[in-house]
Copies of this chain bind each other. A is one copy, B any other.
Amino acid sequence: MAVYTEINDIELTDYLRQYDIGELHSIKGIAEGVENSNYLITTDNGPYILTLYEKRVEQEDLPFFLGLKEHLADQGFSCPRPIAMKSGETLGTLAGRPSAIISFLDGLSVSEPTVKHCSLVGSTLADMHGLAQDFTIHRKNALTLENWRPLFESCGDRIDEVQPGLNELISNELNFLEKNWPDTLTSGVIHADLFPDNVFFLKNQLSGFIDFYFACNDLLAYDLAICINAWCFDRKNSFQVEKSKALMQGYISKRVLSNAEFDALPILCRGSALRFLLTRLYDWLNVPPGALVVPKRPDEYIDKLRFHQGIDEAQSYGLKETDF
């Protein structure tokens, strides 16, 4: 949650003159996104999200993030659409920060995903992968295989305070992943952070994906592995095979999963579990004084990593190769 920058009526009214969306009716700072300042504004034309990009977002990445949402929305994909200024640009400047106005997406994130939700997430993820194929801007994943060891090292010597043996668990896993990572699978644009918080539903239908600020180019099947971790475990970290099956069935209903991608799922799930384990571990060990957000404990992803280490075959995720 975050509103870092205060903006007033005068600078906002001035800023809106660059757009063709009518006069301002209201503005509320909203508690959404940890990287940016977000406001819900309403104008003659209805509600919008106004985002000011704070320091944690690399300014050079903004054309990728805004361009991707525009590209997807242009093709009918349901995600927030950056609103173009009269100049045609979507990236502006407000209160000394890069800024954008984005369409308001109706919908609610679900706190307890069902099999049906998982199926819809799978099929919509495959849609997104397909529609992003001809998006021309590229962005390297800043949190993939090559980044995990430096991140691990930056966690320092307090790792075992979180759980005895954790340092060795991560060290061994890194060695394994660095030797075996399947880097020849199909690449494309992935969302890379498709947690239930970032998917909206409305009247039992999926109404859109939000928060593309980790999107990047990487293995498409890795995005599916992130979703298996994010959607297919219960609150006690028990794997729910029927949800994973629904997620994958949804996915393959819209995009063909190759045998190599399917076979790589266990290691991709291990990598995805390690990625979130490492970032949560780092944040847990480095809470700044006066932090607005209490970080999540890394334990959930220790459990998930251990679960995937015990998986020999991709069939354990609910589909057989004969299913597709």
Contact = CB atoms under 8 A, between A and B. Distances in A.
Nearest to A41: B108
A24 B290 contact: no
A78 B187 CA distance: 56
B9 A108 contact: yes
A92 interface: no
A4 to B, nearest CB: 10
Given A3-B1, A203-B23, A28 B40 contact: yes
Nearest to A109: B9
A292 B42 CA distance: 26
Interface string A100-144: 000011111111100000000000000000000000000000000
A40 B32 CA distance: 12
Q: How many copies does the complex hold?
A: 2
Interface string A1-12: 101000011100
A26 interface: yes
Given A3-B1, A290-B290, A106 B10 contact: no
A1 B27 contact: no
A117 B283 CA distance: 47
Contact of A289 (B32, B202, B290): B290
A109 B26 CA distance: 9
A31 interface: yes
Contacts of A42: 47, 106
Nearest to A26: B106
A291 interface: yes
A101 to B, nearest CB: 16
A1 B31 CA distance: 9
A287 to B, nearest CB: 10
Given A29-B30, A47-B47, 17 more contacts: A3-B31, A9-B111, A10-B111, A10-B112, A24-B108, A25-B106, A25-B108, A26-B105, A26-B106, A26-B107, A27-B108, A28-B30, A30-B30, A30-B31, A42-B47, A290-B290, A292-B292
